[in-house]
Amino acid sequence: MPQPPHPDARVITPMLLRKWPLPAAEDDKESRGRMVVVGGGSETPGAILLAAEAALRAGGGKLQVVTGSRIAPHLALALPEALVRGIPDRSDGSLDAESAQLVLELASEADVVLIGPGLVGKESVRSLTTSIVTELRVPMVLDALSLAAVTDNHECVHHLAGNVVLTPNLSELAITLGWSRSQVEDDPAAAALELAKRSQTTVTAGGVRSAIASPEGEVWYDEGGGAGLGVSGSGDVKAGVVAGLLARRATPSQAAVWGTYLHGRAGDRLAADVGKLGYLAREVPAQIPRVLAELEA
């Protein structure tokens, strides 16, 4: 059975967030940050679409999407707010790992880079992500298969001095740590804290209860959203929200805590309108501005 929250964990409440306000949102899109989202595959273009929209819904200013050249035109039509760049991909839909230098050039002036939503091909993703995180010096969010780089070497992002947020689900958290799934499910806060300390990143790990841990040993938890958020694409939305908040100059821990709460409360709103189960991940991003407005009123 799941254990109670970590003894030092703080419950994420509206009061906590209002005492920890996000940086003021300016009118100019440049002031709200440039975001680059790297992801998608020929069979999973929806994942990067969900993450990209969520980043904008969280208030990020400018968006650039980097994806496989075969799906780039379709994403450009589906996401008219973004500049979509196609890079070489393979027949299995994975991005060519040798394109890392091209990604670096596209992302070098970004304020935040999100890698992972919809990427396929574990080995190519591992190679691509490792090459990018080794060279890039901007805040990052690593999601889904891009966590393979951290699984191989927990120290691979130490040089970024804590400016990284990892967004694993519980299965990915177990794999990245080398723990059993049952260990992680029994105490997700302890698992998130262990990975945060090993990797020197902020970790937000989702389940029925979401646990967030910072490399300094701080722990938060949230129970918003419920079972309805356990649906395909939900994690992509959460990663996008975190990236959007980082673009707005939130700190990594602040982006993870606020992003987790926004994601959960967006799910709560849909549960009330649609039902506890059956709402879709694509419906979640549109709720994010409403939750933000309630908190910032």
C-alpha–C-alpha distance, residues 7 and 11, integer Å: 11
The reported pTM is: 0.96
Let me know: does 202 contact 214? Beta carbons within 8 Å: yes
pLDDT digits (tens, 9 = 90+) for 161-188: 999 999 999 999 999 999 999 999 999 9
Stretch 193-218: mean pLDDT? 93
pLDDT digits (tens, 9 = 90+) for 86-134: 999 988 888 998 899 999 998 988 999 999 999 999 999 999 999 999 9
Evaluate if residue 256 carries a pLDDT over 70. Answer: yes
pLDDT digits (tens, 9 = 90+) for 69-88: 999 999 999 999 999 999 99
The pLDDT value recorded for residue 2 is 46
**Tokens linked to 253:** 């821990």
Between 144 and 207, whose confidence is greater? 144
pLDDT digits (tens, 9 = 90+) for 260-274: 999 999 999 999 999
C-alpha–C-alpha distance, residues 98 and 55, integer Å: 27
List the domains of the chain with CATH numbers: 10-20+31-296 (3.40.1190.20)
